[in-house]
Amino acid sequence: MSEVTPHTQSSCPGLSRASTDFDAGAKNVDGRDKPGHDGAKGRGFRVLSAAALMLILAIVGFVGWVYSLGSLPLDEARQVSTTIVDRNGKLLRAYAMADGRWRLPVETNANVDPTYLKLLFAYEDQRFYKHNGLDPLALGRAAFQLGTRGHIISGGSTISMQLARLMEPRRQRSLYAKLRQMVRAIEIERSLSKEQILDLYLALAPYGGNLEGIRAASIAYLGKEPKRLSLAEAALLVALPQSPETRRLDRYPDAARKARDRVLDRMVEEHQISLDDAQQAKAVPVPKLRKPMPILAPHASDTALSTVRDTPVIKLTLDANLQKMLEPLARDRAIALGPNISVGIIVVDNESGDVLARVGSADYFDERRAGQVDMTRAVRSPGSTLKPFIYGLAFEDGFVHPDSLIDDRPVRFGSYAPENFDMTFQGTVPVKRALQMSLNVPAIVLLDRVGASRLTSRLRQAGGNLVLPKDEAPGLAMGLGGVGVTLQDLAQLYAGFARLGTTKPLREIMTDRDDREPLRLLDQVAAWQVGHVLLGTPPPENAAHNRIAFKTGTSYGYRDAWSMGFDGRMTIGVWVGRPDGAPVPGLIGRVAAAPILFDAFARTGKTLVPLPKPPKGTLVASNAKLPLPLKRFRPVGDLVRTGGEQALHIQFPLNGSRIDVDRSGGEGDAAMPVKVAGGVLPMTVMVNGMALGEIDGRRQRLIDPPGPGFARLTVIDATGAADTVVIRIQ
């Protein structure tokens, strides 16, 4: 057996190779030894590895490219024109951006018509609220339309992609630019809400020239805010941004009309509007001229712009509708009064102290009338408009009553001898008539008694900044206009009458916090008495009586004509004159300013509100029923005394003293003594302008003290002499 086996193998060499090959093949089938398959697997692995590496490198490169784009330029995109709006959000004035562009801020829910939004979404981005920046369906539809029709029917860009293009404008159109827009659109969607995206897009959309955003375009082309648009207007505003420069209404109105009509046709195809509505909209002509931006309340706007910094929207207390009514009134009356004459008007809400309207000049752009000078803030001579405050202090001090008699006759104070406007004298007249007729002599006589320094101090305390000539002390001449004051300060002071003795600092720029405190002008009774007297002032020709409490004034040399008036709701001040201070012969407050005042009240469109009722304790009586000392006012120099008579003097309480009142036993047990020396009986005791009775023969009296706080106690004797102390009850 040992010899046969090797012989058999050697005699069949071919068979041996075949068997070997067969064995090798069998091994391949078994998978125990597969050298050919391992080579193919290695090559496939290398290909996959290379592909994976390339993909990783591409992803890394893409991420790096996205990172290299930097953050979204949101701060720059949010820059808008500064806009001034009224108390209700209506646009008063807008200021162009530094580069001359008009870009107004947009709040879609408040500023934009729903019809426009419906067309915009249907035309530009039907799934705006559903996608995350990219709309594959829109992209596919645009590609299909381009392939089947040979030209672009609808774009595939979403509003977010268009916003990205507006934020980073590029002239060339390329795959790179489109890819960049897609990336930015996704970033925008992640950074902003849908409402914020829409607001920003509607503020940046181009409309030709220096107009950006729907508000700027609607105001410039249609002359109105885009809150209420017709179908034709809405379609026009949708069409213009597609090619803003070639569709500018002021240059290419026909191209704009054709673009509008294409939008309407598309909306019919999309079943957004009916064919009849589209035909009617197509029949509407497109505007061909650009309108100027609104400039209401330019002086107030300029002041607000210089006061408030880095705020895109500044809200004022003004009422745009009222402002719109009063500006033409000032312009028309100034033209009627003569060349170079201007008019200033201010309207103040009595309760809040808010400025509701401010007309700084007759025409902001009229250089001959110095239109850009705000005459409501200019310091001018007030003429007789300070007289009511003189009477108010006299009423407060208690030595005169509206129905007291006072002499209007020649009088001299040193070298100063006041005269009436008409150079005549009325003799003895009631105090209220002296104020209503604006008689000069009674006012100066009362001012002499009140004190010019005290009048100045009280008005400044109430917010009226009186400007005296340099190095000059307050004097009697200030009662007739020998001092400077602004129209707005006078309006604040006159509102104090309607507020029964307190003023509220004026406010024109609305802020979140209002910490203004009332300022004291007069006692309630005195303020009411002045208002009641002024209500009876004879009105201008053809005006209703007893409707508006008002006072006129004319400065020396016919340089300024004034009229200040108020009802229970608002105070209006009117100034007429030349801004350069030149005299205007015949310029009188009653003739030039008062008719404007009454017309201004009429143009407010509001029913006049009655003045407040008299406060508790107000002495309302005819002259015959007044206490003897109040029946007639006599100047200090005219008091007649018997020989050796002492001057009236309050001995108790002392001026400036504090009086502790124990009210534990009731009001009647808290009596306070008043003691006087000198004077002529009978004498009357008055507290805060209210008579409490007469001093007895021992020159004393017990009175019920007023409530806690400051009180003014006055004693008047039979000759009209008086002494006053101010005490504090606690």
3-state SS string for 318-362: CCHHHHHHHHHHHHHHHHHHCCCCEEEEEEEECCCCEEEEEECCC
Is 384 catalytic? The answer is: yes
Q: Are the C-beta atoms of residues 210 and 100 closer than 8 Å to each other?
A: yes
- Burial readout 570-598 (b: 16 or more C-beta within 10 A, e: otherwise): bbbbbbbbbbeeeebeebbbbbbbbbbbb
Burial of 403: CB neighbours in 10 Å, binned 0-12, 13-18, 19+: buried
* CA pseudo-torsion sign 223, 225, 226, 231: negative
**Is 124 annotated in the active site?**
yes
Assess contact for 476 and 440: CB atoms under 8 A. Answer: no
SS3 per residue for 265-304: HHHHHCCCCCHHHHHHHHCCCCCCCCCCCCECCHHHHHHH
User: Which of 81, 160, 384, 404 is an active site residue?
Assistant: 384
Nearest Cα residue to 248 out of 284, 286, 283: 286
Q: Would you state the structure tokens that stand for residue 274, as one six-digit string?
A: 């009916």
Give the active site residue among 81, 124, 233, 327: 124
The backbone region for 167, taken as left when phi is positive above 0, alpha when psi lies in -120 to 50, beta otherwise, is alpha
Q: Cα–Cα distance between 108 and 128 in angstroms, integer?
A: 15
Task: Return the HEC string of 437-497.
Answer: CCCHHHHHHHHHHHCHHHHHHHHHHCCCCCECCCCCCCCHHHHHCCCEECHHHHHHHHHHH
What is the crossing angle of helices 194-204 and 159-167, to 10°? 50
Instruction: Tell me the C-alpha distance between 281 and 262, whole Å.
Output: 12
CA angle 102, 106, 111 (to 5 degrees): 115
| CB neighbour list of residue 552: distance below 8 Å, 6 or more residues apart | 383, 384, 385, 438, 561, 562, 563, 564, 588, 589, 590, 593, 594
Residues annotated as part of the active site = 124, 384
